[in-house]
A and B are shown apart, each in its own frame.
Chain A
Amino acid sequence: MDTELRELYQQVILDHNKSPRNFRVIEHPSHSSEGYNPLCGDTIHLYLTIEDGIVKDISFQGSGCAISKASASLMSSMIKGKTIEEAKKIFEKFQEMITGKLDENSDIESLGKLAVLSGVKEFPARVKCASLAWHTLINAINEKKEAVTTE
Protein backbone atom coordinates (compact mmCIF):
# COMPACT_ATOMS: atom_id res chain seq x y z
CA MET A 1 0.00 0.00 0.00
CA ASP A 2 1.19 3.53 -0.75
CA THR A 3 2.84 5.28 2.22
CA GLU A 4 0.54 8.28 2.12
CA LEU A 5 -2.50 6.02 1.98
CA ARG A 6 -1.19 3.87 4.84
CA GLU A 7 -0.62 7.07 6.79
CA LEU A 8 -4.34 7.91 6.35
CA TYR A 9 -5.72 4.44 7.00
CA GLN A 10 -3.59 3.40 9.97
CA GLN A 11 -4.36 0.14 11.71
CA VAL A 12 -5.86 1.99 14.70
CA ILE A 13 -8.29 3.74 12.35
CA LEU A 14 -9.27 0.50 10.66
CA ASP A 15 -9.83 -1.07 14.10
CA HIS A 16 -11.99 1.77 15.35
CA ASN A 17 -13.93 1.68 12.07
CA LYS A 18 -14.66 -2.02 12.49
CA SER A 19 -15.39 -1.92 16.20
CA PRO A 20 -16.24 1.64 17.15
CA ARG A 21 -16.12 2.42 20.90
CA ASN A 22 -19.16 3.93 22.61
CA PHE A 23 -21.32 3.11 19.59
CA ARG A 24 -24.68 3.13 21.37
CA VAL A 25 -27.53 5.37 22.47
CA ILE A 26 -27.67 7.10 25.87
CA GLU A 27 -31.34 6.94 26.83
CA HIS A 28 -31.60 10.23 28.71
CA PRO A 29 -28.68 12.40 27.65
CA SER A 30 -28.21 15.84 29.14
CA HIS A 31 -26.90 17.03 25.77
CA SER A 32 -27.21 15.69 22.23
CA SER A 33 -26.70 16.87 18.67
CA GLU A 34 -26.82 15.71 15.08
CA GLY A 35 -24.13 16.19 12.47
CA TYR A 36 -24.30 15.72 8.73
CA ASN A 37 -21.73 15.75 5.95
CA PRO A 38 -23.52 16.30 2.63
CA LEU A 39 -20.35 15.54 0.66
CA CYS A 40 -20.32 11.85 1.50
CA GLY A 41 -23.63 11.39 3.30
CA ASP A 42 -22.08 10.85 6.74
CA THR A 43 -24.47 11.25 9.63
CA ILE A 44 -23.76 11.22 13.35
CA HIS A 45 -25.97 11.46 16.39
CA LEU A 46 -24.02 12.33 19.50
CA TYR A 47 -25.23 11.77 23.08
CA LEU A 48 -23.65 13.23 26.21
CA THR A 49 -24.17 13.09 29.94
CA ILE A 50 -22.55 16.20 31.37
CA GLU A 51 -22.53 16.72 35.15
CA ASP A 52 -20.83 19.63 36.93
CA GLY A 53 -19.01 20.56 33.72
CA ILE A 54 -17.58 17.08 33.30
CA VAL A 55 -18.36 14.63 30.47
CA LYS A 56 -19.51 11.61 32.48
CA ASP A 57 -20.65 9.62 29.46
CA ILE A 58 -20.55 10.02 25.70
CA SER A 59 -21.83 7.84 22.87
CA PHE A 60 -22.69 8.07 19.19
CA GLN A 61 -24.71 6.45 16.44
CA GLY A 62 -24.71 6.99 12.71
CA SER A 63 -23.11 5.96 9.47
CA GLY A 64 -20.07 7.20 7.68
CA CYS A 65 -16.72 6.48 6.11
CA ALA A 66 -13.87 4.86 8.03
CA ILE A 67 -12.28 8.22 8.81
CA SER A 68 -15.44 9.79 10.24
CA LYS A 69 -16.40 6.71 12.21
CA ALA A 70 -12.91 6.20 13.65
CA SER A 71 -12.69 9.90 14.48
CA ALA A 72 -16.00 9.77 16.40
CA SER A 73 -14.92 6.61 18.20
CA LEU A 74 -11.51 8.02 19.16
CA MET A 75 -13.10 11.29 20.23
CA SER A 76 -15.55 9.55 22.52
CA SER A 77 -12.75 7.60 24.22
CA MET A 78 -10.67 10.75 24.58
CA ILE A 79 -13.38 13.05 25.92
CA LYS A 80 -14.93 10.81 28.53
CA GLY A 81 -14.02 12.13 31.98
CA LYS A 82 -12.72 15.45 30.66
CA THR A 83 -14.16 18.86 31.55
CA ILE A 84 -15.92 20.88 28.89
CA GLU A 85 -13.03 23.34 28.82
CA GLU A 86 -10.53 20.52 28.31
CA ALA A 87 -12.65 19.06 25.52
CA LYS A 88 -12.77 22.39 23.73
CA LYS A 89 -9.00 22.77 23.98
CA ILE A 90 -8.43 19.28 22.58
CA PHE A 91 -10.77 20.09 19.71
CA GLU A 92 -8.81 23.22 18.83
CA LYS A 93 -5.55 21.34 18.75
CA PHE A 94 -7.10 18.45 16.80
CA GLN A 95 -8.49 20.89 14.22
CA GLU A 96 -5.02 22.44 13.84
CA MET A 97 -3.51 18.99 13.40
CA ILE A 98 -5.84 17.77 10.64
CA THR A 99 -5.63 21.04 8.72
CA GLY A 100 -1.84 21.01 8.89
CA LYS A 101 -1.68 24.15 11.01
CA LEU A 102 -0.14 22.57 14.06
CA ASP A 103 3.05 24.28 15.16
CA GLU A 104 6.10 22.06 14.60
CA ASN A 105 7.12 22.50 18.22
CA SER A 106 3.62 21.78 19.42
CA ASP A 107 3.17 18.81 21.64
CA ILE A 108 1.29 16.35 19.40
CA GLU A 109 1.59 13.68 22.10
CA SER A 110 -0.96 15.52 24.23
CA LEU A 111 -3.48 14.47 21.60
CA GLY A 112 -2.81 10.84 22.47
CA LYS A 113 -4.36 8.34 20.08
CA LEU A 114 -5.97 11.17 18.12
CA ALA A 115 -2.57 11.66 16.50
CA VAL A 116 -3.31 8.68 14.23
CA LEU A 117 -5.61 11.03 12.31
CA SER A 118 -2.78 13.42 11.42
CA GLY A 119 -2.54 11.77 7.96
CA VAL A 120 -5.81 13.51 7.09
CA LYS A 121 -3.94 16.77 6.52
CA GLU A 122 -2.63 15.37 3.21
CA PHE A 123 -6.23 14.79 2.02
CA PRO A 124 -8.08 18.14 2.04
CA ALA A 125 -11.30 16.48 0.86
CA ARG A 126 -11.30 14.24 3.93
CA VAL A 127 -10.78 16.91 6.63
CA LYS A 128 -14.56 17.24 6.92
CA CYS A 129 -14.86 13.51 7.60
CA ALA A 130 -12.44 13.73 10.53
CA SER A 131 -13.93 16.90 12.00
CA LEU A 132 -17.65 16.09 11.76
CA ALA A 133 -17.86 14.38 15.16
CA TRP A 134 -16.00 17.25 16.79
CA HIS A 135 -18.19 19.97 15.34
CA THR A 136 -21.19 17.98 16.49
CA LEU A 137 -19.68 17.73 19.97
CA ILE A 138 -19.14 21.48 20.19
CA ASN A 139 -22.73 22.04 19.06
CA ALA A 140 -24.03 19.63 21.68
CA ILE A 141 -21.99 21.31 24.41
CA ASN A 142 -23.21 24.75 23.31
CA GLU A 143 -26.75 23.32 23.21
CA LYS A 144 -27.37 24.48 19.64
CA LYS A 145 -30.59 23.13 18.26
CA GLU A 146 -29.90 22.98 14.54
CA ALA A 147 -27.95 20.05 13.05
CA VAL A 148 -24.31 20.60 12.15
CA THR A 149 -23.46 20.51 8.52
CA THR A 150 -19.92 20.59 7.26
CA GLU A 151 -20.90 22.32 4.00
Chain B
Amino acid sequence: METNLKTNTNEKVFDIEKIRNDFPILKQLVHNKPLCYLDNAATTQKPQIVIDTINNFYSTINSNIHRGVHSLSEKSTQAYENARAKIKDFINAKSDKEIIFTSGTTASINLVAQTFGRKYVSDGDEIIVTRMEHHSNIVPWQLLCDEKNAKLKVLQINNKGELLLDDLKDLISEKTKLITVVHVSNTLGTINPVKEIIKIAHQNNVPVLLDAAQSIQHIEIDVQELDCDFLAFSGHKIYGPTGIGILYGKENLLDKMPPFMGGGDMISKVTFEGTTFNELPFKFEAGTSNIAGAIGLGAAIDYVHSIGIKNIKEHETNLLNAATGAVKEIPGIKIIGNAKEKTSVLSFVIDNIHPHDIGTFLDFEGVAIRTGHHCTQPLMDFFKVPATSRASFAFYNTFNEVEQLTIALKKTIEVLS
Protein backbone atom coordinates (compact mmCIF):
# COMPACT_ATOMS: atom_id res chain seq x y z
CA MET B 1 0.00 0.00 0.00
CA GLU B 2 2.74 2.37 0.96
CA THR B 3 4.60 1.70 -2.28
CA ASN B 4 1.45 2.36 -4.29
CA LEU B 5 0.85 5.61 -2.50
CA LYS B 6 4.42 6.69 -3.11
CA THR B 7 4.19 5.69 -6.73
CA ASN B 8 0.97 7.59 -7.26
CA THR B 9 2.33 10.68 -5.57
CA ASN B 10 5.39 10.52 -7.75
CA GLU B 11 3.33 10.11 -10.91
CA LYS B 12 1.28 13.14 -9.89
CA VAL B 13 4.36 15.27 -9.34
CA PHE B 14 5.55 13.83 -12.57
CA ASP B 15 2.36 13.96 -14.65
CA ILE B 16 3.48 11.05 -16.75
CA GLU B 17 0.80 11.61 -19.41
CA LYS B 18 1.97 15.16 -19.97
CA ILE B 19 5.56 13.96 -20.18
CA ARG B 20 4.69 11.22 -22.66
CA ASN B 21 2.93 13.80 -24.81
CA ASP B 22 6.25 15.58 -25.14
CA PHE B 23 7.68 12.54 -26.98
CA PRO B 24 5.91 12.08 -30.34
CA ILE B 25 7.64 8.77 -31.12
CA LEU B 26 6.04 7.03 -28.14
CA LYS B 27 2.56 7.26 -29.65
CA GLN B 28 2.86 4.40 -32.08
CA LEU B 29 2.05 0.76 -32.48
CA VAL B 30 4.71 -1.87 -33.15
CA HIS B 31 3.31 -5.15 -34.50
CA ASN B 32 -0.12 -3.75 -33.53
CA LYS B 33 0.89 -3.35 -29.88
CA PRO B 34 1.60 -0.06 -28.12
CA LEU B 35 5.31 0.66 -28.33
CA CYS B 36 6.97 -0.08 -25.00
CA TYR B 37 10.41 1.47 -25.45
CA LEU B 38 12.82 -0.05 -22.93
CA ASP B 39 16.07 0.45 -24.81
CA ASN B 40 16.91 3.78 -23.23
CA ALA B 41 20.45 2.83 -22.28
CA ALA B 42 21.17 2.47 -26.01
CA THR B 43 19.55 5.77 -26.91
CA THR B 44 16.78 7.92 -25.49
CA GLN B 45 13.84 9.35 -27.39
CA LYS B 46 13.66 13.05 -28.16
CA PRO B 47 11.11 15.49 -26.76
CA GLN B 48 9.31 17.74 -29.24
CA ILE B 49 11.25 20.76 -27.99
CA VAL B 50 14.54 19.19 -29.09
CA ILE B 51 13.12 18.28 -32.50
CA ASP B 52 11.67 21.78 -32.87
CA THR B 53 14.91 23.45 -31.81
CA ILE B 54 16.89 21.59 -34.46
CA ASN B 55 14.21 22.25 -37.05
CA ASN B 56 14.18 25.90 -36.06
CA PHE B 57 17.93 26.19 -36.32
CA TYR B 58 17.94 24.94 -39.91
CA SER B 59 14.81 26.93 -40.77
CA THR B 60 15.92 30.27 -39.39
CA ILE B 61 19.57 30.75 -38.40
CA ASN B 62 21.61 28.01 -40.08
CA SER B 63 25.06 29.39 -40.73
CA ASN B 64 28.63 28.48 -39.94
CA ILE B 65 29.79 29.66 -36.55
CA HIS B 66 32.70 31.87 -35.48
CA ARG B 67 34.52 34.25 -37.83
CA GLY B 68 31.31 35.13 -39.69
CA VAL B 69 30.43 38.81 -39.62
CA HIS B 70 26.92 38.50 -41.03
CA SER B 71 23.77 38.31 -38.91
CA LEU B 72 23.02 34.62 -39.31
CA SER B 73 26.54 33.64 -38.36
CA GLU B 74 26.38 35.82 -35.28
CA LYS B 75 23.06 34.25 -34.27
CA SER B 76 24.24 30.69 -34.81
CA THR B 77 27.49 31.38 -32.97
CA GLN B 78 25.53 32.78 -30.07
CA ALA B 79 23.15 29.79 -30.00
CA TYR B 80 26.10 27.38 -30.13
CA GLU B 81 27.97 29.14 -27.33
CA ASN B 82 24.75 29.40 -25.29
CA ALA B 83 24.47 25.62 -25.52
CA ARG B 84 28.00 25.32 -24.22
CA ALA B 85 27.15 27.58 -21.28
CA LYS B 86 24.05 25.48 -20.48
CA ILE B 87 26.17 22.35 -20.34
CA LYS B 88 28.76 24.09 -18.21
CA ASP B 89 26.03 25.02 -15.72
CA PHE B 90 24.43 21.57 -15.88
CA ILE B 91 27.60 19.82 -14.71
CA ASN B 92 28.82 22.84 -12.72
CA ALA B 93 32.12 23.27 -14.55
CA LYS B 94 34.15 26.34 -13.65
CA SER B 95 34.41 27.74 -17.15
CA ASP B 96 33.10 27.40 -20.71
CA LYS B 97 36.68 26.65 -21.68
CA GLU B 98 36.35 23.27 -20.02
CA ILE B 99 33.42 22.17 -22.23
CA ILE B 100 34.50 20.67 -25.54
CA PHE B 101 31.97 19.57 -28.12
CA THR B 102 32.77 16.18 -29.63
CA SER B 103 30.71 13.65 -31.57
CA GLY B 104 29.99 11.56 -28.47
CA THR B 105 31.45 9.69 -25.51
CA THR B 106 33.65 7.52 -27.73
CA ALA B 107 35.19 10.54 -29.43
CA SER B 108 35.69 12.24 -26.06
CA ILE B 109 37.57 9.26 -24.65
CA ASN B 110 39.67 8.87 -27.79
CA LEU B 111 40.51 12.57 -27.61
CA VAL B 112 41.95 12.12 -24.12
CA ALA B 113 43.79 8.93 -25.15
CA GLN B 114 45.34 10.59 -28.19
CA THR B 115 46.32 13.87 -26.54
CA PHE B 116 46.76 13.45 -22.79
CA GLY B 117 47.71 9.80 -23.31
CA ARG B 118 50.25 10.41 -26.05
CA LYS B 119 51.88 13.20 -24.09
CA TYR B 120 52.04 11.67 -20.63
CA VAL B 121 52.05 7.87 -21.10
CA SER B 122 55.31 6.22 -22.03
CA ASP B 123 57.17 2.91 -21.92
CA GLY B 124 56.24 0.84 -18.86
CA ASP B 125 53.51 3.20 -17.62
CA GLU B 126 50.11 1.96 -16.52
CA ILE B 127 46.48 2.89 -17.09
CA ILE B 128 43.74 1.48 -14.86
CA VAL B 129 40.27 0.56 -16.14
CA THR B 130 37.57 -1.63 -14.59
CA ARG B 131 36.07 -4.96 -15.53
CA MET B 132 32.73 -3.33 -16.35
CA GLU B 133 33.93 -0.83 -18.95
CA HIS B 134 32.19 -0.41 -22.26
CA HIS B 135 34.49 -1.33 -25.16
CA SER B 136 34.80 2.39 -25.87
CA ASN B 137 36.66 2.81 -22.60
CA ILE B 138 38.89 -0.20 -23.21
CA VAL B 139 39.95 -0.19 -26.85
CA PRO B 140 41.27 3.43 -27.06
CA TRP B 141 43.56 2.61 -24.11
CA GLN B 142 44.66 -0.69 -25.63
CA LEU B 143 45.62 1.16 -28.81
CA LEU B 144 47.56 3.67 -26.74
CA CYS B 145 49.22 0.96 -24.64
CA ASP B 146 50.27 -0.91 -27.79
CA GLU B 147 51.81 2.23 -29.21
CA LYS B 148 53.57 3.24 -25.99
CA ASN B 149 54.39 -0.20 -24.64
CA ALA B 150 52.30 0.66 -21.58
CA LYS B 151 50.19 -1.68 -19.48
CA LEU B 152 46.41 -1.79 -19.01
CA LYS B 153 45.43 -2.87 -15.49
CA VAL B 154 41.93 -3.94 -14.53
CA LEU B 155 40.01 -3.35 -11.31
CA GLN B 156 37.84 -6.43 -10.83
CA ILE B 157 34.24 -6.83 -9.61
CA ASN B 158 32.23 -9.11 -7.33
CA ASN B 159 29.30 -11.36 -8.28
CA LYS B 160 26.79 -8.60 -7.65
CA GLY B 161 28.53 -6.48 -10.24
CA GLU B 162 30.22 -4.07 -7.83
CA LEU B 163 33.81 -2.87 -8.04
CA LEU B 164 36.33 -4.34 -5.61
CA LEU B 165 37.23 -0.87 -4.39
CA ASP B 166 39.61 -2.18 -1.72
CA ASP B 167 41.88 -3.50 -4.48
CA LEU B 168 42.35 -0.10 -6.07
CA LYS B 169 45.09 1.07 -3.73
CA ASP B 170 47.19 -1.98 -4.54
CA LEU B 171 46.56 -1.59 -8.25
CA ILE B 172 47.88 1.97 -8.30
CA SER B 173 51.65 2.28 -8.62
CA GLU B 174 54.04 5.11 -9.33
CA LYS B 175 53.71 4.10 -12.98
CA THR B 176 49.94 4.76 -13.05
CA LYS B 177 49.21 7.69 -15.33
CA LEU B 178 45.40 7.60 -15.48
CA ILE B 179 42.39 5.85 -13.98
CA THR B 180 39.49 5.74 -16.41
CA VAL B 181 36.25 4.38 -15.08
CA VAL B 182 32.61 4.05 -16.02
CA HIS B 183 30.34 6.02 -13.67
CA VAL B 184 27.35 3.75 -14.33
CA SER B 185 27.59 0.37 -16.06
CA ASN B 186 25.53 0.24 -19.26
CA THR B 187 25.04 -3.51 -18.82
CA LEU B 188 24.46 -3.82 -15.07
CA GLY B 189 23.26 -0.38 -14.04
CA THR B 190 25.79 -0.37 -11.20
CA ILE B 191 26.52 3.11 -9.90
CA ASN B 192 30.21 3.10 -9.09
CA PRO B 193 31.64 4.88 -6.03
CA VAL B 194 33.44 7.39 -8.19
CA LYS B 195 33.92 9.97 -5.47
CA GLU B 196 35.97 7.48 -3.45
CA ILE B 197 37.86 6.35 -6.55
CA ILE B 198 38.77 9.94 -7.38
CA LYS B 199 39.85 10.58 -3.79
CA ILE B 200 42.13 7.55 -3.75
CA ALA B 201 43.50 8.42 -7.19
CA HIS B 202 44.27 11.99 -6.21
CA GLN B 203 46.01 10.87 -3.02
CA ASN B 204 48.35 9.13 -5.45
CA ASN B 205 48.50 12.07 -7.87
CA VAL B 206 46.68 10.14 -10.57
CA PRO B 207 44.01 11.92 -12.67
CA VAL B 208 40.63 10.29 -13.32
CA LEU B 209 38.43 10.16 -16.40
CA LEU B 210 34.75 9.41 -15.82
CA ASP B 211 32.70 7.79 -18.57
CA ALA B 212 29.36 9.41 -17.76
CA ALA B 213 27.47 8.09 -20.80
CA GLN B 214 25.07 6.17 -18.54
CA SER B 215 24.99 8.51 -15.55
CA ILE B 216 24.45 12.00 -16.93
CA GLN B 217 20.75 11.28 -17.62
CA HIS B 218 20.05 9.67 -14.22
CA ILE B 219 22.24 11.27 -11.57
CA GLU B 220 23.10 14.84 -10.62
CA ILE B 221 26.69 15.48 -11.65
CA ASP B 222 28.81 18.26 -10.21
CA VAL B 223 32.31 18.00 -11.66
CA GLN B 224 33.76 20.35 -9.05
CA GLU B 225 32.31 18.39 -6.17
CA LEU B 226 33.39 15.07 -7.72
CA ASP B 227 36.74 16.63 -8.59
CA CYS B 228 37.05 14.42 -11.66
CA ASP B 229 39.71 15.47 -14.14
CA PHE B 230 37.83 14.46 -17.29
CA LEU B 231 34.21 13.56 -17.91
CA ALA B 232 32.72 12.25 -21.14
CA PHE B 233 29.11 11.86 -22.22
CA SER B 234 26.86 11.67 -25.29
CA GLY B 235 23.97 13.93 -26.19
CA HIS B 236 21.71 11.20 -27.52
CA LYS B 237 21.54 9.39 -24.19
CA ILE B 238 20.21 12.49 -22.46
CA TYR B 239 17.29 13.12 -24.83
CA GLY B 240 19.41 15.13 -27.28
CA PRO B 241 20.42 14.34 -30.85
CA THR B 242 23.01 11.79 -31.99
CA GLY B 243 26.43 12.86 -33.19
CA ILE B 244 27.06 15.33 -30.38
CA GLY B 245 28.85 14.75 -27.11
CA ILE B 246 30.91 16.44 -24.48
CA LEU B 247 34.36 16.20 -23.07
CA TYR B 248 34.79 18.10 -19.84
CA GLY B 249 38.37 18.57 -18.72
CA LYS B 250 39.99 20.66 -16.02
CA GLU B 251 41.36 23.77 -17.67
CA ASN B 252 44.93 23.33 -16.45
CA LEU B 253 45.03 19.82 -17.93
CA LEU B 254 43.40 20.76 -21.23
CA ASP B 255 45.79 23.68 -21.55
CA LYS B 256 48.84 21.42 -21.40
CA MET B 257 47.44 18.85 -23.82
CA PRO B 258 48.37 19.01 -27.51
CA PRO B 259 45.51 19.39 -30.02
CA PHE B 260 43.70 16.28 -31.24
CA MET B 261 42.69 16.96 -34.82
CA GLY B 262 44.24 19.70 -36.88
CA GLY B 263 42.12 21.93 -39.07
CA GLY B 264 40.05 25.08 -39.17
CA ASP B 265 38.81 26.87 -36.05
CA MET B 266 41.43 25.25 -33.84
CA ILE B 267 44.24 27.54 -34.94
CA SER B 268 45.39 30.98 -33.99
CA LYS B 269 47.79 31.58 -36.87
CA VAL B 270 48.93 29.30 -39.66
CA THR B 271 52.05 29.73 -41.76
CA PHE B 272 54.07 27.06 -43.54
CA GLU B 273 56.79 27.66 -40.98
CA GLY B 274 54.51 26.78 -38.11
CA THR B 275 51.10 27.11 -36.54
CA THR B 276 49.91 28.45 -33.21
CA PHE B 277 46.77 27.03 -31.74
CA ASN B 278 43.54 28.65 -30.69
CA GLU B 279 42.59 28.99 -27.03
CA LEU B 280 40.33 26.60 -25.15
CA PRO B 281 37.91 25.09 -25.92
CA PHE B 282 38.37 25.80 -29.66
CA LYS B 283 41.80 24.15 -29.69
CA PHE B 284 39.98 20.81 -29.58
CA GLU B 285 37.17 21.65 -32.01
CA ALA B 286 38.75 21.39 -35.44
CA GLY B 287 36.44 21.67 -38.43
CA THR B 288 32.80 22.66 -38.51
CA SER B 289 31.13 21.14 -35.47
CA ASN B 290 27.72 19.57 -35.26
CA ILE B 291 26.20 23.01 -34.65
CA ALA B 292 22.56 21.91 -34.78
CA GLY B 293 23.44 18.96 -32.54
CA ALA B 294 25.03 21.20 -29.92
CA ILE B 295 22.03 23.53 -29.91
CA GLY B 296 19.68 20.52 -29.76
CA LEU B 297 21.64 19.18 -26.80
CA GLY B 298 21.25 22.55 -25.10
CA ALA B 299 17.47 22.23 -25.53
CA ALA B 300 17.56 18.69 -24.14
CA ILE B 301 19.47 19.87 -21.08
CA ASP B 302 16.88 22.60 -20.53
CA TYR B 303 14.11 20.01 -20.82
CA VAL B 304 15.74 17.61 -18.36
CA HIS B 305 16.38 20.52 -16.02
CA SER B 306 12.71 21.52 -16.18
CA ILE B 307 11.69 18.06 -14.96
CA GLY B 308 14.52 17.80 -12.49
CA ILE B 309 17.11 15.03 -12.25
CA LYS B 310 15.97 14.17 -8.72
CA ASN B 311 12.37 13.61 -9.88
CA ILE B 312 13.67 11.59 -12.81
CA LYS B 313 15.81 9.41 -10.56
CA GLU B 314 12.93 8.81 -8.15
CA HIS B 315 10.48 7.71 -10.85
CA GLU B 316 13.08 5.55 -12.58
CA THR B 317 14.04 3.88 -9.31
CA ASN B 318 10.37 3.06 -8.68
CA LEU B 319 10.14 1.55 -12.17
CA LEU B 320 13.32 -0.46 -11.61
CA ASN B 321 12.07 -1.80 -8.29
CA ALA B 322 8.72 -2.77 -9.80
CA ALA B 323 10.38 -4.46 -12.78
CA THR B 324 12.98 -6.23 -10.65
CA GLY B 325 10.27 -7.55 -8.33
CA ALA B 326 8.08 -8.76 -11.21
CA VAL B 327 10.89 -10.35 -13.22
CA LYS B 328 12.30 -12.12 -10.16
CA GLU B 329 8.97 -13.93 -9.79
CA ILE B 330 9.26 -15.54 -13.23
CA PRO B 331 10.81 -19.03 -12.94
CA GLY B 332 14.02 -19.54 -14.90
CA ILE B 333 15.04 -15.88 -14.97
CA LYS B 334 18.30 -14.75 -13.45
CA ILE B 335 19.10 -11.09 -13.02
CA ILE B 336 22.66 -10.11 -13.95
CA GLY B 337 23.79 -7.13 -11.88
CA ASN B 338 22.49 -6.87 -8.34
CA ALA B 339 24.52 -3.95 -7.07
CA LYS B 340 23.23 -2.02 -4.10
CA GLU B 341 23.33 1.23 -6.04
CA LYS B 342 21.77 0.97 -9.48
CA THR B 343 20.20 3.08 -12.18
CA SER B 344 17.14 1.78 -14.04
CA VAL B 345 18.88 -1.00 -15.96
CA LEU B 346 17.62 -4.57 -15.71
CA SER B 347 19.83 -7.20 -17.34
CA PHE B 348 18.79 -10.82 -17.20
CA VAL B 349 19.20 -14.27 -18.70
CA ILE B 350 16.61 -17.02 -19.02
CA ASP B 351 17.48 -20.71 -18.75
CA ASN B 352 17.94 -22.30 -22.18
CA ILE B 353 16.61 -19.34 -24.12
CA HIS B 354 19.03 -17.18 -26.03
CA PRO B 355 18.62 -13.41 -25.52
CA HIS B 356 18.31 -12.85 -29.25
CA ASP B 357 15.22 -15.06 -29.41
CA ILE B 358 13.79 -13.18 -26.43
CA GLY B 359 14.42 -9.88 -28.21
CA THR B 360 12.54 -11.00 -31.32
CA PHE B 361 9.57 -12.37 -29.33
CA LEU B 362 9.34 -9.22 -27.20
CA ASP B 363 9.39 -7.07 -30.31
CA PHE B 364 6.20 -8.79 -31.43
CA GLU B 365 4.65 -7.72 -28.12
CA GLY B 366 5.67 -4.12 -28.83
CA VAL B 367 8.50 -4.27 -26.29
CA ALA B 368 11.87 -2.92 -27.42
CA ILE B 369 14.80 -4.20 -25.37
CA ARG B 370 18.46 -4.76 -26.23
CA THR B 371 20.01 -8.19 -26.42
CA GLY B 372 23.65 -9.10 -26.83
CA HIS B 373 26.92 -8.36 -25.07
CA HIS B 374 26.21 -4.60 -24.88
CA CYS B 375 29.80 -3.86 -25.93
CA THR B 376 31.03 -5.27 -22.61
CA GLN B 377 32.50 -8.64 -23.54
CA PRO B 378 34.94 -8.82 -20.59
CA LEU B 379 31.89 -8.44 -18.34
CA MET B 380 30.03 -11.21 -20.19
CA ASP B 381 33.09 -13.43 -19.67
CA PHE B 382 33.01 -12.63 -15.94
CA PHE B 383 29.38 -13.73 -15.62
CA LYS B 384 30.03 -16.64 -18.01
CA VAL B 385 27.18 -15.70 -20.34
CA PRO B 386 27.47 -15.00 -24.08
CA ALA B 387 24.86 -12.27 -23.90
CA THR B 388 22.04 -10.84 -21.78
CA SER B 389 18.67 -9.24 -22.35
CA ARG B 390 18.54 -5.69 -21.07
CA ALA B 391 15.51 -3.56 -20.29
CA SER B 392 16.45 0.02 -19.48
CA PHE B 393 13.92 2.56 -18.26
CA ALA B 394 13.59 6.29 -18.76
CA PHE B 395 11.36 8.74 -16.92
CA TYR B 396 8.69 8.53 -19.65
CA ASN B 397 8.18 4.82 -18.98
CA THR B 398 5.18 3.70 -16.94
CA PHE B 399 4.19 0.93 -14.55
CA ASN B 400 1.86 -0.37 -17.28
CA GLU B 401 4.93 -0.86 -19.43
CA VAL B 402 6.61 -2.84 -16.65
CA GLU B 403 3.56 -5.10 -16.81
CA GLN B 404 3.69 -5.26 -20.61
CA LEU B 405 7.32 -6.42 -20.33
CA THR B 406 6.47 -9.03 -17.70
CA ILE B 407 3.56 -10.48 -19.68
CA ALA B 408 5.65 -10.56 -22.87
CA LEU B 409 8.42 -12.42 -21.05
CA LYS B 410 6.02 -15.01 -19.72
CA LYS B 411 4.58 -15.58 -23.22
CA THR B 412 8.09 -15.94 -24.65
CA ILE B 413 9.09 -18.53 -22.09
CA GLU B 414 5.88 -20.46 -22.74
CA VAL B 415 6.72 -20.89 -26.43
CA LEU B 416 10.48 -21.27 -26.27
CA SER B 417 11.12 -23.49 -23.29
Note whether A and B form a binding pair. Answer: yes
Using CB atoms and an 8 Å cutoff, list the residues of chain A in contact with chain B: 1-2, 4-5, 8-9, 14, 38-43, 63-67, 69, 123, 126, 129
How far is A126 from B355 in the complex, measured between Cα atoms in Å?
A: 13
**Does A66 contact B355, Cβ atoms closer than 8 Å?**
no
Q: Mark B360-378, 1 if CB is under 8 A from A, else 0.
A: 1100100000011100000
Closest chain-B Cβ to A11's Cβ sits at a distance in Å of 10
**Does B357 contact A65, Cβ atoms closer than 8 Å?**
yes
Q: Known pairs A39-B356, A66-B353, A129-B356. 11 more at Cβ < 8 A?
A: A5-B364, A14-B416, A40-B372, A41-B373, A41-B380, A41-B387, A42-B386, A43-B386, A63-B354, A65-B355, A65-B356
Total contacting residues, chain B, CB less than 8 A:
17
How far is A114 from B236 in the complex, measured between Cα atoms in Å?
A: 42
Chain B contacts of A129 at CB under 8 A?
356
Using CB atoms and an 8 Å cutoff, list the residues of chain B in contact with chain A: 31, 353-357, 360-361, 364, 371-373, 380, 386-387, 415-416
**Does B416 contact A40, Cβ atoms closer than 8 Å?**
no
Contacts A65-B354, A66-B357, A123-B360 given; indicate if A9 touches B372 (C-beta within 8 A).
no
Using CB atoms, name the residue of chain A closest to B353: A66
How far is A143 from B89 in the complex, measured between Cα atoms in Å?
A: 60
Contacts A40-B355, A41-B386, A42-B386 given; indicate if A2 touches B364 (C-beta within 8 A).
yes
How far is A8 from B31 in the complex, measured between Cα atoms in Å?
A: 15
Chain A contacts of B372 at CB under 8 A?
39-41
**Does B360 contact A5, Cβ atoms closer than 8 Å?**
yes
Q: In the complex, which of the residues B353, B357, B380, B416 has the most CB atoms of chain A within 10 Å of its own CB atom?
A: B357
Using CB atoms, name the residue of chain A closest to B32: A2
Q: What are 7 A-to-B residue pairs whose CB atoms are below 8 Å?
A: A40-B386, A41-B373, A64-B386, A66-B353, A66-B354, A67-B356, A69-B354
Q: Which of B31, B353, B387 contacts A40 (CB 8 A)?
A: B387
Contacts A40-B387, A41-B386 given; indicate if A8 touches B360 (C-beta within 8 A).
yes
Chain B contacts of A43 at CB under 8 A?
386
How far is A38 from B135 in the complex, measured between Cα atoms in Å?
A: 13
Using CB atoms, name the residue of chain B closest to A6: B415
